[in-house]
Amino acid sequence: MSNLVKKCPECGSINLFLNKDKGEVICKDCGLVVEEKMVDFGQEWREFDSDSGDKKRRTGAPMTYTQYDQGLGTEVGQKADLYKLGTKEKNKFFRLRKWQYRISTAIERNLKLALAELKRVSSYLKLPKSVEEEAARIYTLAVQRGLVRGRSMESVVAGSLYAACRRHDVPRTLDELSEASGIDKKEVGRTYRFVTRELGISILPSNPADYIARFASSLKLSAEAQSKAIEILEMAQRVELTSGRGPTGIAAAALYVSALIFGEKRTQREVADVAGVTEVTIRNRYKELLEKLGLEKDIKKTKKKKKD
DNA sequence: AAGACGAAAGTGGTTGA
DNA sequence: TCAACAACTTTCGTCTT
């Protein structure tokens, strides 16, 4: 992995921080998201590592849901494999072996197609492997329960991916999922809700803070402004400004305010675009933030400073 | 002229009878 | 199943820089 170390294009620092779950590489000095939505951390790192050969290549879990037969194929039931696995994995293997016999060929074909589509969308969004795996798991469950019937395969794939993103705190907006999958936004939302409900997947509302890093980076805001935005967010949460509102709108407003405070002015339009909300929403949130948190003085301060 | 602000009407989703 | 409701959007006119 050491070959991954790069310099920050913004400040030249090599003090980079890798957040595997979110698939982001962040510069610790200036806060720039050097590389976001990184692709795989598992088997696909050959580009970085070609000379060190085969032994490092296979580092993934012994089983993967992203292959339609869980990567087992004819190997199911070979006892040699089972020795290496814990009880949990063993149980999985036994269950899988059952499927192997029970599953109809129709479902297999469906899965094969769907997982190809899932990989396509996932790589388009540059989602980390862990999310892709989770999505594949969800989709597999959905197929088993017959939840795909009456819905397009693609929309269920999109819904599964969206759910997986939420569970891994690596939020992508419905818009992004919709664009990547070519499925209507409403449809993605609908199947997402349907699938999560039917499978009993707990859905905690996504945290606005999870969006900050990505938005701030697109807006090229400084690290200070970014952490100030998170601060504002925490304050807002304490006074109950956040419940019931769309997380992206809140994140956007927090960024807008902190940009003003640090004299790194961005227009409402710019912020609205990267956050995927309208200016009006930003204005409303922004107004609330100023009222309840008394941030006017901070903004005025920086205005005066500019005059000097 | 561009951006910020606010009002009014419309949309889609949630909720509770 | 339907109506009320809140959040968000769209549109448009006015004010500020």
- Interatomic CA distance for residues A234 and A163, integer angstroms: 25
Q: Say if residue A303's pLDDT is above 80.
A: no
- Nearest protein residue to C11's C1' (by CA)? A280
Name the closest nucleotide to A269, judged by C1' and CA: B3
Of the ranges A34-38, A108-112, A266-270, A304-308, which is most confident? A266-270
pLDDT at A10: 54
Work out the burial of residue A133: count CB atoms within 10 Å of its CB; fewer than 13 is exposed, 13-18 middle, 19 or more buried: buried
Report the CATH architecture of A208-307. Orthogonal Bundle (1.10)
Stated in angstroms, how far is A115 CA from B14 C1'?
32
The CATH classification number of A1-57 equals 2.20.25.10
* Distance C11 C1' – A272 CA (angstroms): 17
Q: What pTM does this model have?
A: 0.68
Q: How far is the CA of A272 from the C1' of C10 (A)?
A: 14
Lowest mean pLDDT among A21-25, A83-87, A228-232, A267-271: A21-25
Tell me which protein residue sits closest to nucleotide B5, measuring alpha carbon to C1'.
A283
Domain ranges in chain A? 1-57, 106-199, 208-307
Class for the domain spanning A106-199: mainly alpha
Residue A279: what pLDDT? 92
Among the ranges given (A116-125, A166-175, A246-255), the one the predictor scored with the smallest mean pLDDT: A166-175
Among the ranges given (A151-165, A197-211, A213-227, A264-278), the one the predictor scored with the smallest mean pLDDT: A197-211
- Report pLDDT digits (tens) over A57-77: 444 444 455 555 444 444 444
Using N-to-C axis directions, what is the helix angle for A129-144 and A153-167, rounded to 10°?
130
pLDDT of residue A267: 92
pLDDT of A168 reads 86
Q: Say if A1-57 and A106-199 have the same CATH topology.
A: no
- pLDDT at A256 (0 to 100): 92
Whether CB of A303 is under 7 Å from strand B: the answer is no
A1-11 pLDDT, tens digit per residue, is 433 445 555 55
Q: Is there contact between A189 and strand B, defined as CB under 7 Å from any strand atom?
A: yes
- Over the range A267-288, which residues count as b (16 or more CB within 10 Å of their CB) and which as e? ebeebbebbbbebebbeebbeb
Hey, which of A32-46, A69-83, A211-225 has the most confident mean pLDDT? A211-225
A282 has a pLDDT exceeding 50: yes
pLDDT at residue number A120: 92
